Chain A
Amino acid sequence: MKSARILLLSILAISCAIVPARAAVPIRLPVPQVQSYRSASIVLAADATARLSGAQIFIRAGLDRQTSAQNGLAALVAQSILLTPVRPSNLGLRDAVAAQGGSVDFVIDGGFVRFYLEGIAGAFERALVPLFATALAHPNFEPVMLAQARAELDAKIADDQKIPLTVGLEMLNASFFTGSNAGLPPYGLPGTLAQQSGTDAARFYAANYRSGGAVVSAVGAFANGGSQSLRSIVDALAPGSSDPVRVRIPALRGSARRLVTHRDIAVPWVVAQFPAPPLTSPDFGAMLVLASFLERTTQDVAANPTITSARFAERAVGSFYNFDERPASVVLYINGGLGDPTRPLSTALSVMQIFANSKLAGDIGKMKTIAAGSYLEGASSLEDRAWLAGVFVSQGLTPDYAAHALQAIADVRAADLQRVARGYLANPTLAVVLPRDTNASQN
């Protein structure tokens, strides 16, 4: 505990000494336009410098629309759409898009299935959007197609099982979402996928691929203005909306808050999950600051700081704030490549405890600057920009994701950090992923 206090004080002292107080300079980006269309939102960020155009299509057909017996059905429907043959080539959508100079893929979130369609700007409106809209409106769930979709999902599931962070997150999410099935594994399980028929897929599609609550968020150069072609995506969805499946999943308590599993990996991993305020909360800015502080502090504890920044795949320690999910969470992960991962975790938790309960005397300007920079780093690609604008609109906010977050960070005071740390970062649920040959006594 003493070392943690010294660490915290030294971090705050450094923040005061090196970086003079900087007045925050606002970053002004063009604000995307938002239109309502058939109970959906179309967000359009025109960028005349872009050589590509991309659109994130959020449809309320995610994990929380499945019953537990339907585990994997949301992914099976989305994968089938990627494979649906489209004219004139009769290639599957994914290959047809590639042949026209683009790509299409999907992610299954707690509440949404989210497709990302991207392509050469000149082809996007003219060729890619019509291909996508056709497959979206008329997906093919015939047995051959479904078998191929299942096989591709089985491969994704197998790949995910090789990634300790994903394994840990799936374990944590299974108990984190207590009011819905949003914590089911994104692609299901091979056993449950095998049980989903074409009729099941067609029913799920008919019930949930609706325009109500959908968001189409596009960024890029649009020769024809963009609106008309993006509307055609919404037109591919039936009217109306669907509701999540209501369930009650018991929350973990007491000693059950540590989940352990084994995989064929080289070093142990620890993944910690904390509840967090939603994007719409007044505490959003404070949590952005705390999440980046948590990552940096844990990195400092776990390893000597390096001169260069580690790329995401190389990071032994990291954290992220899932503000796009409801409920939101903060995740901290540590791999054991640098030694026992529980030690930096313990120190980080101690630092957070001190943070929550001690009076902060230092300047928090540096923490805020780092948090703002980290946030913007995640907003530099076309895909990220479309995603962020879409997330903000899906939660009832305006699409100016940069201005909103930077203002939220600028407004944070020391007292906010303490209050939010105290309210959210005290008692995480842990997932421990161990190498298979680890002695059971180490559990």
Chain B
Amino acid sequence: MIRAGAGLTAMLCASLFLFESPADATVERTVLPFGSTLIAAPNPNVATATVELWFRAPSTGYGHPVAGLARYAALAVAASKGASGSTLSQSVKDLGGTFSISVYPDALAVAASVPATADAAVLRSMTAAYFTPQLTNDGLRAGLRDAVVAATQKSFDPQVTLRDAIFAAIFSEGPAHYPTLPENIVALSTLSAQDVRAFASRAFRSSNAVVSLAGNLSANPASAVRGGRVDGQPAAAPVESLLFGAPQSVRGSFGEDAIGLGWRGPPISDARACTAMDFLSDYLFRDETGVVARVAAARYPDAYFSGQYITLHDPGVMLVAIAGKNDVSISTAALESVVRAQTPLEPSVFAAARTAFIYHILADTESPADAADNFGWYAVEGDPAYAPSDDAGKYVQLAGSLDPQYVAQIAKRYLVTPTVVTLTASGK
């Protein structure tokens, strides 16, 4: 027993030493005059830069919930022509860059990935467009059209469909209860331009923004920020959603048979427990390497399988999505795996899995776009210093401190009874 413990300690120390903070890596954090938080992770060795704006805002709006309102407003701003005569979306594409909008129940992100020399110009255009939103009728029309396309795409996507269904079954009220992409645009199309403007003006305030930059950046990116307003308002508090009392089982229909499993996890304030949930998700469910993912791929190569822990303000959600003919068999394998996870892993297995986990975390946040996403997400969820992209932050240290007993304890506490969503192929 003593020998095993000593061996484990040695292995833990060894894998901690694998990762050393890079000598030249720095993350700058600044609060700008108009209240925005700026996070910049420069890397002069890459040819691109990523510019992102993150806002805390309910995806369903501030009044009577309208699924998809936040995304619609963000799209409409990006598609409205500004003083330059071009739209933000078009100007990014005209640089050969990519433009995206990501919406979550409690936040949204606007992102552009562009050649290195264009970051300041894009940051100028993006902040001018969002901090002082000018919505045109053309922009609103284009936003609605994109919402139709997204709704159609979503109807074929098991991961998004199951995530929405699981969230709807875990959260009883608040934006997390509703899909971030609506199933149709009936409700959105009844909104007036004034409704959308009102949302945009409140959500896209400069004081409610996190500016996240990564990659090959200009010398003083903060000087490019435009359109900020002094409104005396602080950044919005994290957006909360209420929970149902107990896990439940829900049935529905989809294009193919599908099963979703969801477990409530710890809040972001319990960073070590969140990191343990990330480890479990990586060890069990990660594509290609996870224990269950490998079994699913080997035995049921035609099935869809994914699993991840989503760190949220409170609570997080462990989510597993399965689709295809063998969904019940894979679901059984996933449920059995979380039961086994409640027993501590053998030390050498745990040490190898934890080293692999740290590598996966670093690989997933390696490109400028991934790093900027990561900084923005953890900032809006309430703990910017916990971002895995941050070398000086606490994430990698926490990951290195995990041990088999603690991880098993977290599995026992959180991975007990899941919320289950069973979707049946529409034709059955």
Among candidates B93, B149, B153, B362, residue contacting A51 with C-beta atoms closer than 8 Å: B362
Minimum CB–CB distance from B347 to chain A (whole Å) comes to 13
For chain B, residues 137 to 192, give those with C-beta under 8 angstroms from any C-beta of chain A: 142-143, 145-146, 149, 153
Asked whether B366 is an interface residue with its Cβ less than 8 Å from the other chain, the reply is yes
Known: A99-B352, A307-B143, A374-B96. A27 touches B45 (CB 8 A): no
Among candidates B75, B95, B359, B367, residue contacting A102 with C-beta atoms closer than 8 Å: B359
What residues of chain B lie closer than 8 Å to A27, measured between beta carbons?
A: 47, 115-117, 216
Interchain CA distance A415-B391 in the complex, whole Å: 50
Asked whether A48 is an interface residue with its Cβ less than 8 Å from the other chain, the reply is yes
Binds B, one of A35-43, A166-174, A177-185, A375-383: A375-383
Asked whether B246 is an interface residue with its Cβ less than 8 Å from the other chain, the reply is no
Known: A51-B19, A307-B75, A377-B113. A118 touches B363 (CB 8 A): yes
What residues of chain B lie closer than 8 Å to A159, measured between beta carbons?
A: 301
Interchain CA distance A309-B101 in the complex, whole Å: 9
Asked whether A85 is an interface residue with its Cβ less than 8 Å from the other chain, the reply is no
Q: Is A307's CB under 8 angstroms from B78's CB?
A: yes
Among candidates A101, A118, A385, residue contacting B15 with C-beta atoms closer than 8 Å: A101
Binds A, one of B84-92, B333-341, B417-425: B84-92
- Beta-carbon nearest neighbor of B24 in chain A: A48
Among candidates A47, A100, A379, residue contacting B47 with C-beta atoms closer than 8 Å: A379
What residues of chain A lie closer than 8 Å to B79, measured between beta carbons?
A: 307
Give chain A's interface residue range (CB within 8 Å of chain B).
Answer: 35 or more
For chain B, residues 65 to 94, give those with C-beta under 8 angstroms from any C-beta of chain A: 75, 78-79, 85-87, 89-90, 93-94
Known: A51-B391, A123-B18, A306-B149. A100 touches B96 (CB 8 A): no
Q: Kindly count the residue-residue contacts between A and B in the assembled complex, taking CB atoms under 8 Å apart.
A: 163
On B, residues with C-beta under 8 Å from A are: 15, 17-20, 22-25, 43-48, 75, 78-79, 85-87, 89-90, 93-101, 113-118, 142-143, 145-146, 149, 153, 215-216, 289, 297-298, 301, 352, 355-356, 358-359, 362-363, 366-369, 391
Among candidates B48, B355, B356, residue contacting A380 with C-beta atoms closer than 8 Å: B48
Known: A122-B17, A377-B98. A51 touches B366 (CB 8 A): yes
Interchain CA distance A45-B43 in the complex, whole Å: 14
25 A–B contacts, CB within 8 A, in A order: A18-B85, A27-B117, A29-B44, A49-B25, A51-B22, A99-B356, A100-B18, A101-B19, A101-B355, A101-B359, A120-B358, A121-B19, A304-B145, A307-B87, A307-B89, A307-B101, A308-B89, A370-B94, A373-B96, A375-B96, A376-B48, A377-B96, A380-B46, A382-B366, A382-B367
For chain A, residues 357 to 380, give those with C-beta under 8 angstroms from any C-beta of chain B: 366, 369-377, 379-380
Closest 7 interchain pairs by CB? A373-B96, A99-B352, A309-B98, A48-B24, A101-B359, A25-B117, A47-B45
Known: A25-B117, A307-B146, A373-B115. A122 touches B20 (CB 8 A): yes
- Beta-carbon nearest neighbor of A25 in chain B: B117
What residues of chain A lie closer than 8 Å to B367, measured between beta carbons?
A: 380-382
Among candidates B22, B47, B90, B359, residue contacting A29 with C-beta atoms closer than 8 Å: B47
Among candidates A18, A50, A369, residue contacting B90 with C-beta atoms closer than 8 Å: A18
